[in-house]
A and B are shown apart, each in its own frame.
Chain A
């Protein structure tokens, strides 16, 4: 069981991820923009952060950079959500300090398989 923070302005996406991960036995916290995500991260530790890139206020890449500044998130896996069309997000995400990416749309199975790369 892991504590996971999901940051996405799309309610559908947030709920889909949240539902899948809770169902797999993880504890999920939701935030609907980058600023709120950063606040949540300051409040406590997480084993994994999943964030969208295009969000109002603070975008996902800035969130990744800010998270990496926090001592508790220095080595925490952070995944960015991207689309096939936005290939450059993969490398930009890595540069910002992200651990990897998940390409939208994805099935619950793919999500869980992907998380094996970062969770026990």
Chain B
């Protein structure tokens, strides 16, 4: 009886791609560790080597069982090379890391080819494998060993000199004895060992052979063994100092990465449809609960009391259930941030710039669908920073900046939103360069002055790119405008802060989930609308005296000394019977750092609403973000505040 293996394919593809992502992250962490070791610290990278090995090993196993021979064969050879790293018969060096990273990329391509049913790129496999085998033949490792015998060393019949002699048999040994621990007073215990040694051993021997020599005394002596990458050219002091500083900051992060990689293996694969259905059902439950609450309010108070208590309980349970179901879709931001290590490393190498990536707040969680939609915009911003923002090292030095530039990715929760910052310490937006380019393409008049703020707005215009040369990273003139559009489509906000010569920061603010929002139910005429709570700053009673009319710019309302554009919801939606200005209510709304005053008739209630897409059920409607079903079963539209604010400013 033959078993249909194809049903396992989907999970194999998902798992392999995830596994390769995790392996890549481990490789990059290992690379930092190797660099750090040259700065004098201990790499302690056994765990990483094992994790990397395991990552490739499981893909090999699964690919073999499922009959993906090309994947199994390729990963088998990669695994063989990794095993030499693990056993320290081959030193972990830059050349090896580069090749293994390329192999991870290729494995990814192989898995994708299998997924799409395309032919496997066999030539590329062969090329990478020959690169691997040429790497392996380079013999000779340098080990730095610190050996401090324990107090009982002699009393158990061990002899340090014999162990050193065995080490010397393996290759070239340089030993430095440390006598500083010998007591100066007469209180010497003649049976104790006060000596310790710093050893440098150049040998073709495997790490295991060295471990074997110390096997008996490992537990009660202090033995630290580091493998040095032999082929690296020495670096200048200054870069060393920069790097150490950076690596120290990375230190904590690497720990988290490892924890993250461990966590990733302890995961249940559930199809997204199931989760979405669950979320939909919880949404319905929220609606039913609201409906019952409204019905109870209409009942005779005496009989309603106990029912109300029960409903209160139901409400709390529903809220908890909703939070817990929503959290299933939540993923840490590290899923989006994780890939940038590699992007920055490779791009910086290609551009000949020195760039360090610093990531913080990557544990902040966000809806998986939002994370997925965020990856492209973030990629664009990071590339933008690499390409346009960061200066070549020489230019940085000339400006008195550190040679190594820093790109920072940061995420944090702020209320019901997540704020993501992409910043760099590069040249920032140069108003003159932007102005020159804007004049060229006719976005700005010939004599018009361009402030930093105006320049920051101009860079979002389609067709405006100030890169001198177009390259494969960015600079094709489509970019920031698309980024902003994508972020706004996620009902998010986008802000930019540039300090010419010192760098710039993009701030993205997004709702944590796109499925359920807190909204304010408002009425205008005989219609009602939902205004997402996240955009509401405050609500005011309007005063006719604060209303100003400006020719060509419509009406403005003075609020605490500032004039805000007035939008009348009744007029925008064409509702009949909207109240006049003085009898209505002003909602101050803020999006993308700009405020407007929205005139509505009245506030009804704060509601949690499940967003249903209007586009997929009907069609795109201007100023409307979606629809929802209220407790009493009525369909209500949700206002798209960001587009309202933008329209009001234009």
Contacts from A to B (Cβ < 8 Å): 68, 74-78, 91, 94, 97-101, 116-120
In the complex formed, the residue of B with least CB distance to A76 is: B157
In the bound complex, do residue B156 and residue A116 qualify as a contact, i.e. CB atoms below 8 Å apart?
A: no
Q: Does B618 contact A (CB under 8 A)?
A: no
In the complex formed, the residue of B with least CB distance to A98 is: B156
> With A75-B154, A97-B155 known to touch, is A91 a contact of B219 (CB < 8 Å)?
yes
In the bound complex, do residue B155 and residue A100 qualify as a contact, i.e. CB atoms below 8 Å apart?
A: no
In the bound complex, do residue B219 and residue A99 qualify as a contact, i.e. CB atoms below 8 Å apart?
A: no
- How many angstroms between the C-alpha atoms of A119 and B157 in the bound complex? 11
In the bound complex, do residue A118 and residue B157 qualify as a contact, i.e. CB atoms below 8 Å apart?
A: yes
* Among B159, B165, B166: residue with most chain A CB under 10 A: B159
In the bound complex, do residue B157 and residue A117 qualify as a contact, i.e. CB atoms below 8 Å apart?
A: no
Q: Does B41 contact A (CB under 8 A)?
A: no
> With A74-B155, A75-B154, A75-B157 known to touch, is A100 a contact of B166 (CB < 8 Å)?
no
In the complex formed, the residue of B with least CB distance to A74 is: B155
In the bound complex, do residue B155 and residue A117 qualify as a contact, i.e. CB atoms below 8 Å apart?
A: no
- How many angstroms between the C-alpha atoms of A101 and B215 in the bound complex? 9
Residues of B within 8 Å of A120, CB to CB, are: 162
> With A117-B213, A117-B216 known to touch, is A97 a contact of B156 (CB < 8 Å)?
yes
Residues of A within 8 Å of B217, CB to CB, are: 100
In the bound complex, do residue A100 and residue B158 qualify as a contact, i.e. CB atoms below 8 Å apart?
A: yes
- How many angstroms between the C-alpha atoms of A116 and B215 in the bound complex? 14
Residues of A within 8 Å of B215, CB to CB, are: 100
In the bound complex, do residue B162 and residue A75 qualify as a contact, i.e. CB atoms below 8 Å apart?
A: no
- How many angstroms between the C-alpha atoms of A29 and B159 in the bound complex? 23
Q: Does B163 contact A (CB under 8 A)?
A: yes
In the complex formed, the residue of B with least CB distance to A97 is: B156
Q: Which residues of B144-197 have CB atoms within 8 Å of chain A's CB atoms?
A: 154-159, 162-163, 165-166, 191
In the complex formed, the residue of B with least CB distance to A73 is: B157
A-B contact pairs, 17 of them (CB 8 A): A68-B155, A74-B155, A75-B157, A77-B159, A78-B157, A94-B216, A97-B155, A97-B156, A97-B157, A99-B157, A99-B216, A101-B216, A116-B166, A117-B166, A117-B213, A117-B216, A118-B158
Chain B interface residue count, CB cutoff 8 Å, equals: 17
Residues of A within 8 Å of B219, CB to CB, are: 91, 94
Residues of A within 8 Å of B166, CB to CB, are: 116-117
8 tightest CB-CB pairs across the interface, nearest first?
A100-B216, A99-B157, A77-B157, A99-B156, A99-B158, A97-B156, A76-B157, A75-B157
- How many angstroms between the C-alpha atoms of A94 and B154 in the bound complex? 12
> With A100-B216, A116-B162, A118-B162 known to touch, is A94 a contact of B156 (CB < 8 Å)?
yes
In the bound complex, do residue A117 and residue B154 qualify as a contact, i.e. CB atoms below 8 Å apart?
A: no
Q: Which residues of B88-120 have CB atoms within 8 Å of chain A's CB atoms?
A: none
Contacts from B to A (Cβ < 8 Å): 154-159, 162-163, 165-166, 191, 213, 215-217, 219-220
In the bound complex, do residue B156 and residue A117 qualify as a contact, i.e. CB atoms below 8 Å apart?
A: no
Residues of B within 8 Å of A91, CB to CB, are: 219
Q: Identify A75's interface contact among B155, B163, B216, B220, CB under 8 A.
A: B155
In the bound complex, do residue B155 and residue A94 qualify as a contact, i.e. CB atoms below 8 Å apart?
A: no
Interface of A is mostly: loop
- How many angstroms between the C-alpha atoms of A79 and B159 in the bound complex? 13
Residues of B within 8 Å of A98, CB to CB, are: 156-157
- How many angstroms between the C-alpha atoms of A12 and B402 in the bound complex? 72
In the complex formed, the residue of A with least CB distance to B159 is: A118
Whole-angstrom distance between the Cβ of A115 and the nearest chain B Cβ:
10
Residues of A within 8 Å of B159, CB to CB, are: 77, 117-118
- How many angstroms between the C-alpha atoms of A97 and B158 in the bound complex? 10
In the complex formed, the residue of A with least CB distance to B163 is: A117
Residues of A within 8 Å of B220, CB to CB, are: 94
Residues of B within 8 Å of A100, CB to CB, are: 158, 215-217
- How many angstroms between the C-alpha atoms of A77 and B157 in the bound complex? 4
Whole-angstrom distance between the Cβ of B589 and the nearest chain A Cβ:
69
- How many angstroms between the C-alpha atoms of A82 and B54 in the bound complex? 31
In the complex formed, the residue of A with least CB distance to B169 is: A116
Residues of B within 8 Å of A74, CB to CB, are: 155, 191
Residues of A within 8 Å of B163, CB to CB, are: 117
Whole-angstrom distance between the Cβ of A94 and the nearest chain B Cβ:
6
- How many angstroms between the C-alpha atoms of A75 and B156 in the bound complex? 6
Whole-angstrom distance between the Cβ of A84 and the nearest chain B Cβ:
14
- How many angstroms between the C-alpha atoms of A100 and B216 in the bound complex? 5
In the complex formed, the residue of A with least CB distance to B216 is: A100
Whole-angstrom distance between the Cβ of B183 and the nearest chain A Cβ:
20
Residues of A within 8 Å of B216, CB to CB, are: 94, 99-101, 117
Whole-angstrom distance between the Cβ of A37 and the nearest chain B Cβ:
16
Residues of B within 8 Å of A101, CB to CB, are: 216
Known: A91-B219, A99-B216. 18 other contacts (CB 8 A): A74-B191, A75-B191, A76-B157, A77-B159, A94-B156, A94-B220, A99-B157, A100-B215, A100-B216, A100-B217, A116-B162, A117-B159, A117-B166, A117-B213, A118-B157, A118-B158, A119-B162, A120-B162
Residues of A within 8 Å of B162, CB to CB, are: 116-120
Whole-angstrom distance between the Cβ of A110 and the nearest chain B Cβ:
11
- How many angstroms between the C-alpha atoms of A75 and B154 in the bound complex? 6
Whole-angstrom distance between the Cβ of B166 and the nearest chain A Cβ:
6
Whole-angstrom distance between the Cβ of B64 and the nearest chain A Cβ:
29
- How many angstroms between the C-alpha atoms of A74 and B153 in the bound complex? 12
- How many angstroms between the C-alpha atoms of A38 and B590 in the bound complex? 90
* Among A75, A76, A101, A119: residue with most chain B CB under 10 A: A75
- How many angstroms between the C-alpha atoms of A99 and B165 in the bound complex? 17
In the complex formed, the residue of A with least CB distance to B215 is: A100
- How many angstroms between the C-alpha atoms of A91 and B166 in the bound complex? 23
Residues of B within 8 Å of A97, CB to CB, are: 155-157
Residues of A within 8 Å of B165, CB to CB, are: 116
Residues of B within 8 Å of A99, CB to CB, are: 156-158, 216
Residues of A within 8 Å of B213, CB to CB, are: 117
- How many angstroms between the C-alpha atoms of A82 and B217 in the bound complex? 16
- How many angstroms between the C-alpha atoms of A77 and B216 in the bound complex? 12
In the complex formed, the residue of A with least CB distance to B150 is: A94
Residues of A within 8 Å of B155, CB to CB, are: 68, 74-75, 97
- How many angstroms between the C-alpha atoms of A67 and B597 in the bound complex? 94
- How many angstroms between the C-alpha atoms of A69 and B50 in the bound complex? 44
* Among A78, A91, A117, A120: residue with most chain B CB under 10 A: A117
